[in-house]
Amino acid sequence: MNAGKGRGSGTSKGFENILVRMRELIVDRDGARLIHGVEVCGVDVDAETRCGHWNSPIDIIAIKFKCCGGWFPCFDCHAETTGHLAEVWPASDFGEKAILCGACGYQLTIDEYLVSDSSCTRCSAAFNPGCEKHYHLYFAAAATA
Ligand SMILES: [Zn+2]
Ligand SMILES: [Zn+2]
Ligand SMILES: [Zn+2]
């Protein structure tokens, strides 16, 4: 019968895409983000676990917390997101997989991480060696001597 009219406009689709992108940005902002299948909570968490507090190229680990079992990029992210006091891992739990490599998704045990020389034992990505200064926030003193 009649021709014409079949022309769909591309603008609404483009607009939808913008909305989707905006929604992604908003979700990123207020918390949880899936990183290699692990839900990491924090402030402005990026795809490799950097956060609003620590975001140099080598800040790519997330840490699982003893208190709530959740994964966070850093101590401050945990404090700001959960509002409760963090519990450190006792030495008896150092076999627990509590360090997530943001580069490859490998989970290191605390023991493994402490002797890793600040790099991933699977993909060799460099971790921030400065984290060493904050071990006491996450792990009970490992010293047994
Ligand atoms: Zn907690
Ligand atoms: Zn943080
Ligand atoms: Zn890795």
User: Mind listing the pLDDT tens digit for each residue in 49-90?
Assistant: 999 999 999 999 999 999 999 999 999 999 999 999 999 999
Judge whether 97 and 107 are in contact, CB under 8 Å. Answer: yes
Judge whether 63 and 72 are in contact, CB under 8 Å. Answer: yes
Q: How far apart are CA 26 and CA 143, in angstroms?
A: 43
Judge whether 145 and 124 are in contact, CB under 8 Å. Answer: no
Ligand nearest to the CA of 31: 2
- What is the pLDDT at residue 45? 96
Of residues 53, 50, 46, 16, the one with CA closest to residue 28: 46
What are the residue ranges in the chain where pLDDT is below 70?
1-11, 20-30, 142-145
- What is the pLDDT at residue 30? 54
Q: Give me ligand 1 centre to Cα 9, in Å.
A: 49
Question: Given the structure tokens 């607009």, which residue do they identify?
Answer: 15
Ligand nearest to the CA of 82: 1
Q: Give me ligand 3 centre to Cα 98, in Å.
A: 13
Residue list, CB under 5 A from ion ligand 3: 101, 103-104, 106, 120, 122-123, 125
In this prediction the pTM is 0.77
119: left (phi over 0), alpha (psi -120 to 50) or beta: beta
- What is the pLDDT at residue 23? 59
